[in-house]
Structure 1
Amino acid sequence: MKHSFRYIPIRRERSSDVQRGSMELWLSYIETSSKNQTPFMFYAVDADTGYGLKGAEFSLFQRDELVFGSYSNRSGAVWFPPLREGLYQLKEAKPPKQYIAEKEAFQMYVDYNGNICVEGVPAARFQAFHKRTSEQQASFSVVKYDIRTGKRLEGAVFQLCRNHVPIATSTSDADGFVQFHGLEEGVYQLNELCPPEGYMKVADTHIVVVANDGTVTIDGYAAEYASIGNKPILYDIFFQKQDELTGEPLEGAVFDLLQGGMVLYTAISNEKGEINFGSFTPGTYTLREQKPPAGYHMNEHEYTVVVAQDGMVTIDDMPVEYARISDKKEKEQITVRKYIQKLEPESGVMFQLSQDNVTIASAGTNKQGEAYFYDIKPGTYMLIQLTHDGQSTGEKHTVMIEENGTVTIDNQVTNTLEIQ
């Protein structure tokens, strides 16, 4: 049984924000029959070279009703879906960039058997010819950036070559853009001559292709998305921590490295007194001691660290290889030695030094059974042994420190108290 065939053209308003090259289907078929449906394809080409042109936009009308819109692809092909028998008008809505159409409107007929003719020419041989409006002049830009932070980089110098012969140079601006203008169709080579200050040079050669329609690709990708990153040149910041008098290495000193008032890194000296903050870019930094080693005074000095462009790193003008930062040892004014039977050292025993019932300092015995009290001001104090829960054991000793530094414990001139 034969099926009837009819169509209803549905007209839709085209959105103003539809981008160039978009394709919308305007023709809706119902109760379709494949017998009379014939797809239609032709080419938009350069009238002089015969090369296909990308980006030509076409509209197909029937009785002044828009039924379909399409555009040419990179090979110049323009495709329309199956069409029923009838008379159509093919109009070019927009030519490719830098081209004008030799003719903008064509009469097209689809017969009952599906044969298509355009202006009397079989569809298989039909081409829409275009003339160049002027010699193609293409432009492109790439973005220079820091691969670690994404920051745009100024001052990178690039050279553009054709057949490896230099034709232009360009320097990245404050926004990181490297720009080249007035390029003809062809293949070019792009190289970085000089990297931004403080960055490693990019050794790669990038291939730039300017197509006959003025589009530009870099290494096979659209130029508008091109970016080339640089690795920053990094240098190590380190120094040696030592005793001010003996020069012995000090473990456990905590230092901060700052820039612009912000702490970038914190490091602790190891058993050899070494502190290494790792690698940093050229610039000026501040070095500050956060915590001294146990038994040492805090070093209040702020050191200036300079990482030069040539890789020289200094701390207060001293090359880091020779930089030594010292701490002064606290004076041991009072030493308490705690023993159990047979003069065996007892560790973990807490002692408290108070003045007028106010706790001045506390200290616990180490593995050698010794507890230390440092830098106690002249005056009279009470030394109290504490229990494990922090209460007084009742054992108290009177400590007097003279202005000349003489220490008396329980009326004996000594700075050491032995308790069994």
Structure 2
Amino acid sequence: MYFDKVRVLKSDDKSGSYYKDGLALGATSPKTKFNQGTVYGGQTIWSHLTIANSAAKDIKEDGAEIHTIAVNIKRENGEGHSENEIVQGMYRMASRKANATGSLSNQNDYFFQKGSTSDIETYIENWYQEIAQSISKAKINDPLGDMVDLVGTPMIKRVAGGNDFPIPTVDVKDNRRRLLVENLNLFKGQEIQIDYTVRLRTEDSNYVPGKWYQTNGQTTLEPSPERSPDVLDFGVPSVRKKDDRPTLEVPVEKKWEDTRSGEADFWGLRPDKVGAVLQKKDGGKWVDEKQIEVTKAGNWKALFDPVMGGDTLYRIVEKERVKGYVAATYTPTTFTEASLGAASGTITNKLLTTNYTFKKFSHDGQTAFKGANKPKFKVTRQAKDGLGEKVVVANMEPADDGTVRTEGLPIGSYTVEETHVPTGHQRMSAFTIDVTENASGTAVIAKVAGQSGSHTVVNKLQAFTLLVSKVNHNGAALEGATFSVTGPNGYNKKISTGSSFTFTDLIPGTYVLTEENAPKGYVGMKETLTITLNTDGSVVFGEIENKPMVTGSASLSENKMTVTVKNTPVGTLPSTGGGGTTPRYLLIAACGMVGLSLLGFLLVVEKRRSNS
């Protein structure tokens, strides 16, 4: 507190309706400084400046603003204060400017000291303007946001309250990172607008599409920086670039229907990769949006690069149909971001297959094998076109009607070979089933030797051998005979050596065995023997039961027929019991013995009668 460093909190300054003059404080009018100090409450007061500054302090603390004016301040008439003390006492009563800095001085206060009345008029006019203005000597500070750059030159313009009031300029500071407006004065109803353009730093490494970024830092207005410390904040706008990045990620999965006997890709026909296309509906047509390879190494799963989501309609298609498979099916057939959700689009390929049947018959091409003597087959996919050899089915048997059926054959070439040959028959020749796609790729066709119709294979009977053995009446080998055999396809063979006669290469049909010449001193087989070899390998010896000197047998497993012809010596009658012939003298002796027996019987009977 100036001058006495004593603040007067209460004073008795009136006598009735009149203020008391200074004499009561001990001053001599018109002096400001007392002749001697006056003690109140233990404090000594020496000057009216102390009383005036105490009253000014009370007024300022009530919110009022005090301006003081000093004109022609001079020390005269024995004034105890110096001119400087009087001036200091006056500017200390004035309100301090809100933006004042540093120590107390008349430069920081609302204090005016001039030497002429014209100067006072100018000051008072400015003072009035300052008091009347809503915004006085205001400052706008507008730093830019970290993610924007200033484009072009900022412009300030009047938007309300007239077109003739003064407006300041906009200064660009800090390497074009801050806008500054100073000394802005506005009366009630006056408005200005500052226009400028900023560019979002989309190239910045920290930029995230679609994210909101503040265009400014803390933007403030100091409406009357000299009169008030108030700082007002402007709302800070934000800017973003519409996130036009693709956001929809579409997973795709390839599924195969080609399992056989529990083994996936049994045939090895899957490629290592397939191409998938994500298409977008554009008006009335589908256009390719993204492409990707779905690979075996990737477990037949992949993820398309992101595309725009929303209500856009998409579908997944296979780039090319996989050879040997039905044209792919898709789930879902079409979708949007919402309808797909967390699911995957699937491409399903089903293997194209076909069945093939052929007929298997015995020698005559009509009779099927039955029972335990059925043939068995093996079907093997050939090593061809990069595919390895693979057994498709083994030990396949025909049905009772001779039908052999192999099922589920995809494209490829298949060898059919006989693994078990019916007894007594020749192994059939292996043949190839070729399975190829039709022209449209919608089915596969099986052909044998270029023909898709029924195919018949036959087991020809193995050629039989006829072994003729020549023996005498005692069963001993007998040489010297000649035998011939005639039969189908001009078969005619004669053998005249040894006691065994082997006729080979006999095929089904009827043969005639003839003993052309008997051994010397023996009676030969006078009638021919008919032998029928049936297509199933059975043998019938014609009327052999009426030929006691001939026996016959057959073996299918050995493809052999055996005939034994017994000759009797000349002059010997053949027996009918199969015991051979007996010389005539034995028969005569037998008759004589019978006669003697009868004679003895008659003698015994006659003697018994005489005795009686």
Which bin holds the TM-score, normalised by the shorter protein?
A: 0.3 to 0.5
The one of the two structures with greater contact order (alpha-carbon pairs below 8 A, sep at least 6) is 1
When you count helix as a share of all residues, which structure comes out higher?
2
| Structure of higher CA gyration radius | 2
Higher strand share: 1
User: TM-score scaled to structure 1, two decimals?
Assistant: 0.43
